Structures are given as structure tokens and as C-alpha cells.
Amino acid sequence: MAIKITPLKLAIATIIGASTLAGSFVQAAEVNIYSSRKQALIKPLLDKFTEQTGIDVNLLTGNSDALLSRLTAEGENTPADLFLTVDAGALHRAVSADVFQAIDSEFAHQTVPAHFRDSEDQWVGLSLRARPIFYSPERVDPSQLEDYMSLADEQWQDRVCIRSSNNIYNQSLVAALLDHHGEQKVMTWAQGLVENFARTPVGGDRDQIKGVAYGVCDVAVANTYYFGHMLNSDQAEEREAAEKVKIFWPAQEGNGTHVNVSGIGITKHAKHVDEATQLIEFLLSEASQKWYAEANYEYPVREGVEWSETLEQWGDFKQDDISMDILGENNAQAVRLMNSAGWR
């Protein structure tokens, strides 16, 4: 028997079909992110984003340079909608490789101070880390310390621990010093600093802090969030080492303590631009910014967000407000200078 389809039945079927189709699109909504940030330090926020929006997040983590090379090789066929990395120098490399598009978000523009985002809106900062001087209170009077440049003084001969010139955090620090002091003065400083190394640079930031704790050196340069993780570690050895060390905020009478950003940008060939923009704005929300401070001991990139108890204990300090763009622009010069000075 033939089924007669009335106009009303056809209209209802059309509405139901459209609703089902729309529902399938909502369920299929996704955003793909390449991240040099370790999974444990970003996935909890991504899971909250999915819970709140229904947008699935596909995360691929790896080395920053390797992910950038992959993005470049994939070109318009890349599945990545977002690229997240942990240093202004690395973000500048991504801009130079032309893998980003401008972020169209008034919220991001209003929330993030101009010097913590790209001048052409190619990326935006998500969190801050400071790179102060760490010292042994048993062997160093903090009145002896002043700024980064003073670490080249003779009093620090064989007393300084710091990572190699290959480390992007050190490259960005030197890039900032180049802007503040000029090439000749920074070259003289770098040569003096190398003379003051307690050992050939080895290991990561935690190893420099441990070097101070164990008497290998008396002062070290490292990022604060590593120190925070050590103080709150479930490993007694790390906690005990961190407790033997204190922070000195350098250059408080000058340009301020060097800070850097983790940042994110929408890829040039993103297939899910709207979802990517939503995720960026979520990561800049007050709740997400507070999570960075509490879970990773990083400073919020936006003002007015409550710090974690650990950050509060370290006290407030004057930050260097240099544009993050300059850290990237001066990176190649910084690397050449460090290598010429014998910093390996």
C-alpha cells in the first residue's frame, strides 16, 4: 500500500531531519591542537573546555621545533587548528614560518596586555613565567646581588649555574638584554658570565636549582615554575633541594625581572577557526588563568587574577615590560653572541 505524504508530514520530516543533521554537527564539532606544552599541563583545561562547550579537542604534543616543521611540511593539508608553544622566541619562529593567521577576538585584545601578544595578532600569550636568580642563603648575602649583568662580576667566579646556549629561555633572556644594553655591553657580559660558570652548562632548570642546593654553585638562573613544582613535588629529594634555595628578583631598580610567555596562535590553514577562537578565549578566562597559577605555578597573563599560595609566598616584583616581539626578533643575534662568548 502506498504511503501518502501530506505537506504537513513533509514539513515535519524536514524539521526532524534538519534537527538531526544539526545535532550531528554539534556532536562532531572539534578543534585540533599541536602543543609543545606537556599533556599534563594543558589537557585538564582542554577537558574542561569540552565539558562546557561540547567541542572535542584533539591534542598532539611534542618538541616545539619538530611540531613547527610538521606544520610547515603539512601546509594546507595540516589537521592542526592551533599551535601552542612555550616561549616568545619559538612563537616568533612560527610567525616567520608563516603558519599563523590573525586572531579575530576582541576579548583577547582587551584581556591580554599588548606586550604579551603579537603586534600583528598572529599569537596571544596565555601564561607568564619569570626567570630570576636563585641563591643559597647559607653562602650568599642577597645584598651582593643586583641584576643579570652583575653575574659577570669577579665575585661570582666559579659560582654560577645556568643552562646551555641552546636553551630557548636563555636565548630570550639574552635577546632582552640586547635590547636594553646593546651588543657590545652584552658581549662583554656574556664573556664574563662564561668565566664565572661553576661547571659546563648541563641539564634543565631543575638541575641548576639543585646545583645551588648541593653546593655545586652559589647562584643560578632558572624559571620560577620549575621551582614551584620542586617545592610542591611528591619527591622528597626535590622538595628538600628547593627548600635550600631562595629567589632574588633582579633588576628591580632597572628594567625589571625577565618574563616570558607561553602562547597560542590559529594556524593559517585551520579548518575550525570558530572553535579555535572559542578555545583561545576559554584559556584566557579568569578560571583558566587561575588554574595556570595553581597547577603550574605560572603567572596569569591577564591582570586581576588571584595568584596561587606558592606565588604569593614569593612576593610581588617588577616585571620587564619589553615586547615579546623583540625577544623573537633578537633571537638569532642572541644565539650568535652566546656562541661567540663561548657559552655552550
**What is the tens place of the pLDDT at every residue in 144-184?**
999 999 999 999 999 999 999 999 999 999 999 999 999 99
DSSP, res 319 = B
Q: Assess if residue 105 is contained within a domain.
A: yes
Report the distance separating Cα 262 and Cα 300, nearest Å: 11
Residue 21 pLDDT:
35
Identify whether residues 136 and 281 lie together within a single domain. no
Amino acid at 310: T
- Specify the number of domains making up the chain: 2
At residue 276, the pLDDT reads 98
**CATH number of the domain to which 67 belongs:** 3.40.190.10
Could you write out the DSSP letters of every residue in 28-87? H-EEEEEESS-GGGTHHHHHHHHHHH--EEEEEE--HHHHHHHHHHHGGG---SEEEES-
pTM of the model: 0.89
Rounded to an integer, the average pLDDT of 338-344 is: 97
Asked if residue 273 and residue 247 are part of one domain, the reply reads no
Both 224 and 334 in one domain: the answer is yes
* Same-domain check for residues 177 and 247: yes
Residue 118 lies in a domain: yes
Question: Largest Cα–Cα distance in the chain?
Answer: 101
Q: What is the pLDDT of residues 61-80, one digit of tens each?
A: 999 999 999 999 999 999 99
136 and 207 fall within a common domain? yes
Domain contains 16: no
Cβ pair 242, 230 in contact under 8 A: yes
Question: Is residue 327 domain-shared with residue 251, that is, in the same domain?
Answer: yes
Same domain, 247 and 278: no
In angstroms, the first-to-last Cα distance of the chain is 86
Q: What is the pLDDT of residues 228-286, one digit of tens each?
A: 999 999 999 999 999 999 999 999 999 999 999 999 999 999 999 999 999 999 999 99
- The grid coordinates of residue 22 equal 544539526
246 and 190 in a common domain: yes
Tens of pLDDT along 86-138? Answer: 999 999 999 999 999 999 999 999 999 999 999 999 999 999 999 999 999 99
Task: Point out the annotated binding site.
Answer: 225-226
Are 36 and 136 contained in the same domain? no
**pLDDT tens track for 276-291:** 999 999 999 999 999 9
130 bridge partner residues: 259
Q: Is residue 313 part of a domain?
A: no
| CA–CA gap between residue 229 and residue 234 (Å, rounded) | 9
A 10 A CB-CB count for 72 gives 13
Whether 24 shows a pLDDT value over 60: the answer reads no
User: Is 51 within a domain?
Assistant: yes
pLDDT digits (tens, 9 = 90+) for 196-208: 999 999 999 999 9
Q: Is residue 19 part of a domain?
A: no
- Point out the annotated binding site for Fe cation: 225-226
Q: Determine, yes or no, domain membership for 89.
A: yes
Domain range holding 93?
A: 28-128+260-308
Under 8 Å between Cβ of 296 and 231: no
> So what's the pLDDT on residue 112?
97
> How confident is the model at residue 41, as a pLDDT?
87
Residue type, 143: S
Burial classification of residue 120, based on how many CB atoms lie within 10 Å of its CB (0-12 exposed, 13-18 middle, 19 or more buried): exposed
* pLDDT tens-digit series, residues 293-339: 899 999 999 999 999 999 999 999 999 999 999 999 999 999 999 99
Asked whether residue 223 falls in the same domain as residue 335, the answer is yes
Residue 13 in any domain: the answer is: no
82 shares a domain with 42: yes
Select from 281, 272, 261 the least CA-distant residue to 326. 261
Closest CA to 271 of 78, 64, 69, 7: 78
Cα 180 to Cα 330: distance, rounded to the nearest angstrom: 11
For residue 28, name the pLDDT band (cuts at 50, 70, 90): low
Q: Kindly state whether residues 119 and 134 are assigned to the same domain.
A: no
